Amino acid sequence: MQKPLIAGNWKMNTTIHEGASLVIKLRELIKSIDSVDVVIAPPSTSIHHLNQLIAGSSIQLAGQNVFWKENGAYTGEISAEMLRAIGCSYVIIGHSERRALFGDTDDRVNKKAHAALKAGLKPIICVGETLEEKESNSTLGKVKGQIMRALAGLKTGSLKELTIAYEPIWAIGTGKSATPETAEEVHNSIRELLYEDYDTAAAKKIRIIYGGSVKPDNIDSLMAQPNIDGALVGGASLNAEDFARIVQFESV
């Protein structure tokens, strides 16, 4: 089993200066942690600078998005190789905000996952249901479909690089987290789906993390669930103390 993964998705927040002061505080607060993979996903304008500030710490960097082409006439886009070159080890793919606002379909998510792995970036693939889908009992169907299409054509050997983030859309930025039991049920079904589609040893290596209103006061109970391997944190990752507390969850 890999270490738990706690990732902070800063979204479109922080200038380069604000990002630097956040990282300097965070670095100090978690300097003794080595039992967790700690990842931050700042806006791409800050990544290169922050990479210098995290040198010698256990903090790793992620892009918030990537384009699947290697280079060319794609104004405004950033390739996986470019993210690698400025210090990223991970990249978030298919966040619900990108799916809802910027046209990231399952097919695009799949292309981005292939491109990321090819360049040596570890994809964090986001899936999750809307409130209507939850209320019509379609959560598992939605999430399983998203995962199958996102992972299409990936080689079994690359699965260990992969993280799936289950982020119910109704829980993102709302303060209404899924209960640990509800999240565990979905994570467990995702794990079973992966066992069906890939060999068990390979599927076991995929981390399944939870996202959606993760805070210092609910992280411990979420992490106590057997199939929750970490968290993708939005709002609370913009506060160094809160994020440091989340990283230092108490395993019960």
Interface residue list for ligand PGA (CB under 6 A): 9, 167, 172-173, 211-214, 232-236
Nearer to ligand PGA (CB atom), residue 54 or residue 222: 222
Q: Are 92 and 41 in contact (CB under 8 A)?
A: yes
Task: Rank residues 92 and 151 by Cβ distance to ligand PGA and give the closer one.
Answer: 92
Least separation in angstroms between residue 197's CB and ligand PGA is: 25
What is the C-alpha separation between 59 and 90, in angstroms, rounded? 12
| Catalytic status, residue 167 | yes
Q: In the complex, what is the shortest distance from the CB of residue 9 to ligand PGA, in angstroms, rounded to a whole number?
A: 4
CA-closest candidate to residue 5, choices 230, 247, 245, 214: 230
Six-digit token string for 56 = 């010698």
Other CB atoms within 10 A of residue 17 CB: 10
Residue 48 appears among annotated catalytic residues: no
Contact assessment for residue 159 and residue 220, using Cβ atoms and an 8 Å cutoff: no
**Smaller CB separation from ligand PGA, 9 or 225:** 9
Q: What is the DSSP string of 129-149?
A: --HHHHHTT-HHHHHHHHHHH
Q: In this structure, which amino acid lies at residue 161? A: E
Least CB distance from residue 26 to ligand PGA, whole Å? 16
Dihedral pair phi/psi, residue 211, rounded to 5°: -140, 150
Set 97, 133, 161, 167: catalytic member: 167
Residue closer to ligand PGA by CB (options 133, 242) is 242
Minimum Å distance from CB 171 to ligand PGA? 6
Phi and psi at 129, nearest 5°, equal -105, 155
Residue type at 117? Answer: L
Q: Which 8-state DSSP code applies to residue 201?
A: H
CB-closest chain residue to ligand PGA? 234
Active-site residue among 95, 114, 184, 187? 95
Residue partners of 203: CB distance under 8 A and separation at least 6 = 159, 191, 194, 195, 197
Owner of token pair 């479909």: 145
- CB of residue 63 vs ligand PGA: minimum separation in angstroms? 14
Using the minimum distance from each CB to ligand PGA, give the nearer residue, 91 or 233. Answer: 233
Supply the residues annotated as catalytic: 95, 167
